[in-house]
Structure 1
Amino acid sequence: MTAAVTSAQAQSVIEPDYTHEKPLASTAWYVPQFSEANKKADLDFIIGMRPHHAGALSMVNDYFKDKKGTSVRLAALARGIKHNQSFEISMLDKIEHYMQMLKYSKDAYFKKVADQGLAQKNEFIRLPMPPIQSIFYYNDHISEEDVRFAKAMIVHHEGALIMAQDYLDNPDANNGYLRQMCLDILRDQKQEIALMHNIIKQYKGDADAVKITPDMIHGMDGMMHHMNMGGSMKHHH
């Protein structure tokens, strides 16, 4: 059993390349020697990341509701954030469900902590990030609202990077599923930050004059215990 579970862990990814031809099935994800400390590490991460993701969705909704954004790339990125992070929220909810159900016994060596294959089961396909360089979008006109949203979302993304790195650095965080998710967050959101910096750079007006306020950055309440662990946020004025 140990070899089979280890092999499954090694081959598993959070966002597998899904096609409709693949079977809609999920398999259990187990970790060995799962303790109360491991459970706390997982729940602390979920308590911070889930509302943080939900905050990103509400920021995207506000951006589209305002209707002052004109950047094709930023609109595509915003749609991707909403689509992809909505699925990640469902994954976090599923993992939290397993965490709350966990019971410990000396005989149970492996603990179920997630389901592999949720993307296939939910027919989820990750939306790709638009190209960073604006050469692919000759008519990508960038408005003041685009700059404001990009600045706010950069700060928001930096919060996610801190939480993801904190989990990876936590010796009690041994949930391979969440660790893979954190690696995905580090990869994806660093690239998205680069895109948003490029959009701000392409703005024809004075980007420094475009201000953001704390109320524009949603879902950051769960960041407090991460900030106490040595994380530092960059400030975007």
Structure 2
Amino acid sequence: MKWTGKQGPWLAGLSLAIASTAAIGSWGFSQWRAQQPAATAPGSTTTAQASPALCPPGGDAAGGMAHHMHSMQVSSEFEFISHMIPHHQEAIDTAKLVRDRTQRPEMRQFTQAIIDAQSREVSQMKTWLQTWYPNQTSTQAYQPMMRPLEPLQGDALDQQFLQDMVMHHQGAVMMAQSLIQGQLVKHPPVQSMAQDVIRTQSQEIGQMQTWLGAWFPNGGQCGRSTATDSTGNGLMNHGNMNHGNMNHGNMNHGMNHGKQL
């Protein structure tokens, strides 16, 4: 992984708020989301829709997370795959902890969806490394992006998870954008996965921001999600997307990448 402090054109979308995340989600996540009640704060009858400026949660770990978010670029397809595997694994491990300890049913279902989708993608990416890059090894150690959750419980657990996972998802979106816009793809299935990461995780960012605004209105919501099209470009007019190319009816919170090999 090539970590730099430069912000290329592909980062410009960070300053934009998503007007509607539903238009860019995958079929599987849309089906899951349709079953969920609207998130509201106690005593409130409306859903918070605020979208504040980008801000990391407090603490030294958060500073490191913000640094990663603004510097994640890849220089090859191999770097994208080899770094996305531990990045996904961190999300999976954290989601498992929250799934087992949260008191909110929405969070249990949401974290399980993350576990299922990203576990499939990790398995697929490991196969790609073994098949396409058997003699290459990464020289860049993965730096964790999320703060420890073990000491937390209740609202503190849910709030920190959502804050950190918003930033974590944005990092994945940025890596996928870097791969696509840098024209680094060597194998079509990798491009399909990168496009799916952009769509699915952008929508999940929107959902997490909604929950942060509803459940923790006094400072809980951080970050702006990045609206993008299937090429990784910033997207304000969601109607321009060609959803037919992704065959949403066959997706379950992520494409079956194995069939594309």
TM-score normalized by structure 1?
0.51
Q: Which runs of 5+ in 2 are unaligned?
A: 1-25, 29-74, 136-153, 223-261
The within-5 A match list for 1:212-227 is none
1:178 matched to 2:178 = no
Quick one: which amino acid aligns to residue 86 of structure 2? P
Which residue of 2 is the match for residue 63 of structure 1?
98
Q: Secondary structure at the match of 1:64?
A: helix
State how far apart, in whole Å, the 1-side matches of 2:157 and 2:97 are.
11
Larger Rg computed on CA atoms: 1
Which residue of 1 is the match for residue 116 of structure 2?
83
- Tell me if structure 2 keeps the 8 A contact 1:161–1:186: yes
Q: 1:178 to 1:143 in 2, by over 3 A?
A: same
Q: Which runs of 5+ in 1 are unaligned?
A: 1-14, 18-39, 103-141, 212-237
Deviations 1:70-92 (A, max 9, x none): 22222211000001100000110
Q: 1:101 to 1:62 in 2, by over 3 A?
A: closer
State how far apart, in whole Å, the 1-side matches of 2:219 and 2:108 are.
18
Among residues 98, 101, 108, which one is paired with 2:131 in the alignment? 98
- Tell me if structure 2 keeps the 8 A contact 1:71–1:143: no
Among residues 164, 170, 173, which one is paired with 1:158 in the alignment? 170
RMSD: 2.7
Percent identity between the aligned chains? Answer: 23
State how far apart, in whole Å, the 2-side matches of 1:81 and 1:169 are.
25
Deviation at 1:173, TM superposition (A): 1.8
1:74 matched to 2:74 = no
Quick one: which amino acid aligns to residue 179 of structure 1? Q
Q: Secondary structure at the match of 2:215?
A: coil
Size of the aligned set, in residue pairs, is 133
Quick one: which amino acid aligns to residue 182 of structure 1? A
Among residues 201, 213, 222, which one is paired with 2:213 in the alignment? 201
State how far apart, in whole Å, the 1-side matches of 2:124 and 2:107 are.
25
State how far apart, in whole Å, the 1-side matches of 2:185 and 2:87 are.
19
Quick one: which amino acid aligns to residue 185 of structure 2? A
Among residues 142, 155, 161, which one is paired with 1:143 in the alignment? 155
State how far apart, in whole Å, the 2-side matches of 1:202 and 1:184 are.
27
Q: Where does structure 1 differ by over 6 angstroms across 4 or more consecutive aligned residues?
A: none
Which residue of 2 is the match for residue 47 of structure 1?
82
Deviation at 1:47, TM superposition (A): 1.5
State how far apart, in whole Å, the 2-side matches of 1:180 and 1:153 are.
23
Q: Secondary structure at the match of 1:76?
A: helix
Q: 1:203 to 1:78 in 2, by over 3 A?
A: same
State how far apart, in whole Å, the 2-side matches of 1:204 and 1:171 are.
40
- Tell me if structure 2 keeps the 8 A contact 1:74–1:196: no
Quick one: which amino acid aligns to residue 212 of structure 2? I
State how far apart, in whole Å, the 1-side matches of 2:106 and 2:130 are.
36
State how far apart, in whole Å, the 2-side matches of 1:91 and 1:53 are.
12
Quick one: which amino acid aligns to residue 94 of structure 2? M
Deviation at 1:101, TM superposition (A): 4.9
